[in-house]
Amino acid sequence: MKKNWKRLLALLLVAMMVLSACGGNSGGQSNSGGQTNNGGQTNDAGQTDDGDKTDNGGQTDNGGQDAGQTDTAAEPIKDLVVWDTGEVETLFRPHSEGANEYRVTCNTIATLLEFDNHGTLIPGAAATWGTEDGGLTWTFNLRDDVTWVDINGQYKANVVAQDWVTTIEWILNYHKNQSYNTSMAISTIAGAEDYYNYTKDLDEAEALALKATDEAFTSRVGVEAPDDQTLIYHCVGNITYFDTLFISAIMVPTSQQLIDEIGVENMVGIKNDQMWYSGPYILTTFVQDNEKVLTPNPAYFDTVSTRFDSVTIKKVESALIDDQLWESGEVDYTDLAQATLSGILNDPSNKWYPYLVESRLEPYCNNLFFNFSKNLEDGSPDTNWNTAVANENFRKSLYYGLDLTNIWYGTNPVNPLNLEALTFTCKDFVFFSNGDDYSSHVEAKLEDIGESTGTSPRRYQPDLAEEYKTKAMEELSAQGVTFPISIDYYIKAGDPTALDNAQIYKDVFEALGTDYVTFTIKTYISSYNEEVMTPKLDSFSCSLWGADFLDVSNWLDQVTYQNPSALYSTTRMHLDDMTDPTLIQQFTEFTDKVYAAEAICDDLDDRNEAFSEAEAYLLNHALVIPWNLRSYWSLTKVNEYSKSYSGCGIGYIYKNWETSTEPYTTEQYQALRDAYYGG
């Protein structure tokens, strides 16, 4: 790994010289590449960190980590300031599925387990845990010093094992949580699906009155708390990865006393001054569309961990604003927009030139999801689009014909091809017993993927795309489709960054030929979910996903057919509304392959190989299109190698971070990488 990082540093230096000599493409793109962010993802790679540290003002003392701290004259940061482009829609973590919420809520509630900075599970609220029967039953033994406090830090109750059982009941109760976060519980916990279906058939008032102590729940669901410090889960099979779920939204505590205090009907809309806190921070300030401020929880059980005196999360209007806030000294890192980065690279005298760093590749993948049941704005079916997208040759003409380099360039103009995604799942997620990255097994099964040359995308095959285009036009014309086919893409009205990105998308799609497709940029006013996604108006959307546990099922389940818990199938792809028999057959076959893989519990290599077959089927039929991986060129005062890391997770816990009040230089960051990877 050390050699790879040195190669990246060399590439940066070469790129600096090249762009200084001939100029760069400013492009005006944002650092997010026009993506929507969904499913537990963020710029911070979902980190938590271990607590075996001493206090030095928000810094770690290396306490068992080898993050590669460097000697700097600067002091550590005491009051951290970060930023986010999205808004928090709920502070009740079991009801949230997005990065905007997790950036806040992961700091307010204790989790049973955490990850260290190398991806190893370590104790959290659970002192010990394990399985004695190969993953069929898991037992967690809780600490006895974890407590709930109010916004003023005043004691409310002890955190007990039953609080985790209460969360499972809430998530599986259809009328309480409307299917949010159910897929993980249903696919792993015995009886979970039975209880979900039971509550779905109940009258709403009857369902809302249920508690985790009621016989209707205890007789069905395999979760129990025999005493305050013992928590037992009974799984549907030998779920060997089950403990990696325990930083996710389904595995956090919720006190029934809190529910009783504010009312079951008020939990999803709970306010920060109503919440009970058990995590490292208390949300002392919440200003909608402005900022959130976290301050240390005085009763937090991990007394040896280091925390900031405050963490401020600034809401910014677009991904360009963080660059401006960095320049004015108002934030402690920025993921540079392409225009800002090019300006720095083109000017070696720029004061930020010596401080450019490339972030590590994050454990996420952005994918394009087709809307297979699109409506026109009057609510009637968009028959022209729906017929076209059901045609495999049409989808493959896009799959092989879209050159995404300029889109990746907006995030990484130095090494844009580093962001090419060939698989639906991300890299460095799960591994075979011989060390093979799972994604490499999927890639080996993909059709017509070129060799890696470092100069052009591997999937982009324009000649092959032209062949599929010709076939598609012939077949679709016979079905009454008119050309060009309109591809409708929605952005927020008045957002110049989104408009710039959409224009790049338009150029990429219309390079297929405006006799074939036209890319129509449309706008919504305030809510993409309510104004576009729910009425099914867009032709496609791109969404970034990061897994919640270390098993491929968490990725592939999201696009399975006739699965009410499948996030993308139900919200973006609208699979249950499809009418084309070939599409239905293909998604049914894919879903059967996924479920067959999930049934393999005795051999992880066999399980992962079966998943790779299912994923390759999804891609070889172009049912989704992998869009990009994610890393950034940044300016930062935060050592990301001191944060916790995992191929899954939604942590964002702001503890045990190494920071510097002075930005890290390119050379210092290189040293951090070298130390982290064993240099």
> Are 477 and 523 members of one domain?
yes
Q: Check residue 662 and give its pLDDT.
A: 96
- Residue 69 pLDDT > 70: no
Phi and psi, residue 459, nearest 5°? -80, -25
Measured CA to CA, the distance from residue 550 to residue 129 in angstroms comes to 17
Q: Check residue 362 and give its pLDDT.
A: 86
pLDDT above 90 covers a percentage of the chain that reads 72
> Are 514 and 639 members of one domain?
no
pLDDT above 70 covers a percentage of the chain that reads 89
Q: Is residue 618 part of a domain?
A: yes
> Are 320 and 447 members of one domain?
no
Q: Is residue 546 part of a domain?
A: yes
Closest CA to 164 of 250, 56, 43: 250
Whole-angstrom CA distances from 334 to 43, 277, 366 are: 10, 29, 20
Q: How confident is the model at residue 602 (pLDDT cuts 50, 70, 90)?
A: confident
Element (H, E) at 656: none
How far is residue 195 CA from its own chain's centroid?
A: 28
Closest CA to 554 of 41, 65, 28: 41
> Are 413 and 425 members of one domain?
yes
CATH number at residue 369: 3.10.105.10
CB neighbour list of residue 216: distance below 8 Å, 6 or more residues apart: 195, 198, 210
Q: Check residue 557 and give its pLDDT.
A: 95
Q: How confident is the model at residue 650 (pLDDT cuts 50, 70, 90)?
A: low
More confident of the two residues 526 and 7? 526
- Residue 410 pLDDT > 50: yes
CB neighbour list of residue 621: distance below 8 Å, 6 or more residues apart: 392, 395, 586, 590
Residue 365 contacts residue 438 (beta carbons within 8 Å): no
Q: Check residue 679 and give its pLDDT.
A: 57
CA angle 351, 352, 353 (to 5 degrees): 95
Q: How confident is the model at residue 224 (pLDDT cuts 50, 70, 90)?
A: very high
Residue range(s) defining the domain that contains residue 591: 365-628
Q: How confident is the model at residue 2 (pLDDT cuts 50, 70, 90)?
A: very low
Does residue 363 have a cis bond before it (omega within 30 degrees)?
A: no
Q: Check residue 324 and give its pLDDT.
A: 95
Which amino acid is it at 543?
S
- Residue 424 pLDDT > 70: yes
**Secondary structure string (H, E, C) spanning 159-215:** CCHHHHHHHHHHHHCHHHHCCCCHHHHHHHECCHHHHHHHHHCCCHHHHHCCCCCCH
Closest CA to 160 of 208, 220, 112: 112
Q: Check residue 461 and give its pLDDT.
A: 96
Element (H, E) at 521: strand 517-524
Q: What is the pLDDT of residues 358-393, one digit of tens each?
A: 988 888 999 999 999 999 999 999 999 999 999 999
Instruction: Count the domains in the chain.
Output: 2
Residue 364 contacts residue 547 (beta carbons within 8 Å): no
Mean pLDDT on 449-478: 93
CB neighbour list of residue 7: distance below 8 Å, 6 or more residues apart: none
Q: How confident is the model at residue 36 (pLDDT cuts 50, 70, 90)?
A: very low
Q: Check residue 414 and give its pLDDT.
A: 84
Q: How confident is the model at residue 71 (pLDDT cuts 50, 70, 90)?
A: low
More confident of the two residues 9 and 395? 395
Q: How confident is the model at residue 470 (pLDDT cuts 50, 70, 90)?
A: very high
- Residue 306 pLDDT > 60: yes
Burial (0-12, 13-18, 19+ Cβ within 10 Å), 138: buried
Closest CA to 35 of 24, 43, 46: 43
CATH number at residue 70: 3.40.190.10
Q: How confident is the model at residue 57 (pLDDT cuts 50, 70, 90)?
A: very low
> Are 405 and 350 members of one domain?
no
Q: Is residue 372 part of a domain?
A: yes
Residue 465 contacts residue 400 (beta carbons within 8 Å): yes
> Are 298 and 387 members of one domain?
no
Q: Is residue 265 part of a domain?
A: no
Q: What is the pLDDT of residues 122-178, one digit of tens each?
A: 999 999 999 999 899 999 999 999 999 999 999 999 999 999 999 999 999 999 998
Q: How confident is the model at residue 63 (pLDDT cuts 50, 70, 90)?
A: very low
Q: Is residue 585 part of a domain?
A: yes
Locate 359 and state its tokens: 């972030």
Q: How confident is the model at residue 631 (pLDDT cuts 50, 70, 90)?
A: confident
Measured CA to CA, the distance from residue 50 to residue 195 in angstroms comes to 35
> Are 331 and 410 members of one domain?
no
Measured CA to CA, the distance from residue 163 to residue 257 in angstroms comes to 9
- Boundary residue ending a domain (590, 608, 628): 628
> Are 51 and 32 members of one domain?
yes
Mean pLDDT on 188-212: 97
More confident of the two residues 93 and 63? 93
Q: What is the pLDDT of residues 91-128, one digit of tens each?
A: 999 998 777 888 899 999 999 999 888 778 899 999 99
Measured CA to CA, the distance from residue 616 to residue 217 in angstroms comes to 39
Q: Check residue 649 and give its pLDDT.
A: 60
Q: Check residue 648 and give its pLDDT.
A: 80
Measured CA to CA, the distance from residue 204 to residue 314 in angstroms comes to 38
Mean pLDDT on 610-636: 96
Q: Is residue 564 part of a domain?
A: yes
Residue 85 contacts residue 495 (beta carbons within 8 Å): no
- Residue 355 pLDDT > 80: yes
Which amino acid is it at 631?
S
> Are 424 and 570 members of one domain?
yes
> Are 406 and 492 members of one domain?
yes
Q: Check residue 4 and give its pLDDT.
A: 37
> Are 384 and 317 members of one domain?
no
Residue 615 contacts residue 424 (beta carbons within 8 Å): yes
Closest CA to 634 of 31, 1, 78: 31
How long, in residues, is the chain?
Answer: 679
The position carrying tokens 């454990």 is 363
Residue 458 contacts residue 449 (beta carbons within 8 Å): yes
Q: Is residue 169 part of a domain?
A: no
Would residue 64 be called left, alpha or beta, if left means φ above 0 and alpha means ψ between -120 and 50 degrees? left
Residue 293 contacts residue 6 (beta carbons within 8 Å): no
Closest CA to 255 of 375, 338, 146: 146
Q: What is the pLDDT of residues 522-579, one digit of tens each?
A: 999 999 999 999 999 999 999 999 887 889 998 999 999 999 989 999 999 999 999 9
Mean pLDDT on 186-209: 96
Q: How confident is the model at residue 183 (pLDDT cuts 50, 70, 90)?
A: confident
Q: Is residue 240 part of a domain?
A: no
Closest CA to 410 of 34, 11, 22, 8: 34
Residue 132's CB: how many other CB atoms inside 10 A?
A: 9
Residue 68 contacts residue 641 (beta carbons within 8 Å): yes
Q: Check residue 107 and give its pLDDT.
A: 94
> Are 469 and 408 members of one domain?
yes
- Residue 405 pLDDT > 50: yes
Q: Check residue 599 and give its pLDDT.
A: 86
Q: Check residue 9 and give its pLDDT.
A: 43
Q: How confident is the model at residue 22 (pLDDT cuts 50, 70, 90)?
A: very low
- Residue 340 pLDDT > 60: yes
Locate 85 and state its tokens: 């482009």
More confident of the two residues 319 and 52? 319
- Residue 239 pLDDT > 70: yes
Q: What is the pLDDT of residues 82-99, one digit of tens each?
A: 999 888 999 999 998 777
Write down the mean pLDDT value for the chain.
88
